[in-house]
Amino acid sequence: MGFDRLGLSEPTMVAVREAGYTEPTPIQAQAIPQVLMGRDVLGIAQTGTGKTASFTLPMIDILAEGRARARMPRSLILEPTRELAAQVAENFEKYGKEHKLTMALLIGGVNFADQEKLLDRGVDVLIATPGRLLDHFERGKLLLTGIDILVIDEADRMLDMGFIPDVEKICERITKKHQTLFFSATMPPPIERLTKQFLDDPKFIEVARTSMAAATIEQQLVIVGPRDKRKALRKLIKDEPVKNGIIFCNRKVDVKEVYNSLARHGFNVGQLHGDMEQSERLEVLRQFKANEVQLLCASDVAARGLDIADVSHVFNFDVPSHAEDYVHRIGRTGRAGRKGKAFTIATSGKTDTKFIDAIEKLIESKIPRAGKIDLEPPKPKVAADDMPKKPFVGMGPHMPAFLERPVKIARSRQDEA
Ligand code: AMP
């Protein structure tokens, strides 16, 4: 079915054509007509399926009629992270260029003076993270009585991040009858409960998982010893035609360490994790998207749902402990029909084996094993006999045994750096 059969207005179709889309994705084909009819939607879909356009495009047409009043936004979009919120805002700008909709963004870590001015004047679209929104609401800066459309996006990630009580409070405070569009990649019980409570006879739409759909992603599992993970990563990056790549680690500390290590080895690399200032995060994303930075070390939460088109490689420095995260991670590459490669570095230990089993069960296929990769040979150890006879001024000819140890540790650290 072509885009022109979905009921979108001509000005919106101009923006769609300019974006270069010829066919709607399955979620767009199913959701857009329903949203235009004013119906609640429950979409089981994750990023990469085109779900953002499935709600922004019809919202633009609905909001084209009518005007915003001071401090009473006409629609509200809740996102779990600042990056996703910023990305949805970019979508509104891209698809709404033929319209004159006003928009404000309430996300952590940015200066609010400008956003508050916009809110005071009245906005058609308010995009926010739940905590930040409640904060403004409770300080009386904002009224939720004018909301006609509420979007709850990435609900299962909101659950992971502990935002569901805030989302519930927000839903309870929107007393006016409104349309709700609810999206989640999975449907754990607390999310299901939420949908029962706040959705009114929703149209249920489920689209295939990215990993199932994306036959364009070539996956490989590389098994190495626990001390060889960084070497293996460097080797893969050097051997592969990496245009740009995201390197995922399970913990923030590992993101920082792997980032430092790659930077020391001369790679063009940036990092993205929750301990960074918002401005730093947005800047590194800008650099990565502009190809000023080739590699990005990231944590799952920071990188979740980021829409970076055309990433050639994904490297899992750690096997993700939640199988779902594997799907999200590798879904950063192989987008929109392009080819991508996803390497997962694992050890043969029990924990990694358990995680890999869970992933393979979820994706219902085996991740192909890569052959043994040739790693740089270890630096030769300095034998005690090769030690200088008089290492330090004032020290006798025989070096005490304990002094050998710092030398060895320094070598292995350097090697691993
Ligand atoms: P999303 O799932 O919303 O994160 O979108 C994933 C990517 O698909 C984004 O880069 C969109 O620009 C792109 N996209 C969305 N709709 C279409 C479409 N109908 N045809 C081609 N690409 C699309």
Q: What is the pLDDT of residues 251-307, one digit of tens each?
A: 999 999 999 999 999 999 999 998 888 888 889 999 998 999 999 999 987 776 676
Same-domain pairing of 135 and 72 = yes
Same-domain pairing of 80 and 186 = yes
Same-domain pairing of 190 and 280 = no
Report if residue 144 sits inside a domain: yes
Residue 39 pLDDT more than 80? Answer: yes
Q: What is the 3-state secondary structure (H, E, C) of the chain?
A: CCHHHCCCCHHHHHHHHHCCCCCCCHHHHHHHHHHHCCCCEEEECCCCCCHHHHHHHHHHHHHCCCCCECCECCEEEECCCHHHHHHHHHHHHHHCCCCCCCEEEECCCCCCHHHHHHHHHCCCEEEECHHHHHHHHHCCCCCCCCCCEEEECCHHHHHHCCCHHHHHHHHHHCCCCCEEEEEECCCCHHHHHHHHHHCCCCEEEECCCHHHHCCCEEEEEEECCHHHHHHHHHHHHHHCCCCCEEEECCCHHHHHHHHHHHHHCCCCEEEECCCCCHHHHHHHHHHHHCCCCCEEEECHHHHCCCCCCCECEEEECCCCCCHHHHHHHHCCECHHHCCEEEEEEECCCHHHHHHHHHHHHHHCCCCCECCCCCCCCCCCCCCHHHCCCCCCCCCCCCCCHHHHHHHHHHHHHHHHC
The protein residue with its alpha carbon nearest to ligand 1, atom 13, reads 50
Residue 385 pLDDT more than 70? Answer: no
**Span from the CA of 79 to the centroid of ligand 1 (angstroms):** 18
When pLDDT is cut at 50, 70 and 90, the band that residue 390 belongs to is very low
Pocket test for ligand 1, best of 4, 8, 25 (most atoms within 8 A of CB): 25
CB 384 near ligand 1, within 6 Å: no
Report if residue 380 sits inside a domain: no
Same-domain pairing of 332 and 394 = no
pLDDT at 337: 60
When pLDDT is cut at 50, 70 and 90, the band that residue 186 belongs to is confident
Lowest mean pLDDT among 44-53, 86-95, 159-168: 44-53
Q: Which of 158-167, 320-329, 365-374 has the highest mean pLDDT?
A: 158-167
Last residue of a domain, one of 156, 172, 206: 206
CB 50 near ligand 1, within 6 Å: yes
Last residue of a domain, one of 206, 234, 262: 206
CB 25 near ligand 1, within 6 Å: yes
pLDDT at 309: 64
CB 1 near ligand 1, within 6 Å: no
The protein residue with its alpha carbon nearest to ligand 1, atom 15, reads 50
Last residue of a domain, one of 206, 228, 258: 206
pLDDT at 388: 45
CB 383 near ligand 1, within 6 Å: no
The model's pTM is 0.63
**Span from the CA of 24 to the centroid of ligand 1 (angstroms):** 9
Report if residue 284 sits inside a domain: yes
**Span from the CA of 50 to the centroid of ligand 1 (angstroms):** 4
Same-domain pairing of 16 and 119 = yes
Q: Name the residue range of residue 254's domain.
A: 217-363
- Number of domains observed in the structure of the chain: 3
Report if residue 211 sits inside a domain: no
When pLDDT is cut at 50, 70 and 90, the band that residue 389 belongs to is very low
Same-domain pairing of 185 and 303 = no
Residue 34 pLDDT more than 70? Answer: yes
Same-domain pairing of 166 and 77 = yes
pLDDT per residue over 230-262, tens digit each? 999 999 999 999 999 999 999 999 999 999 999
CB 307 near ligand 1, within 6 Å: yes
Residue 392 pLDDT more than 50? Answer: no
Atom of ligand 1 nearest to the CA of 307: 4
Same-domain pairing of 199 and 160 = yes
Percentage of residues in the chain with pLDDT exceeding 90?
59
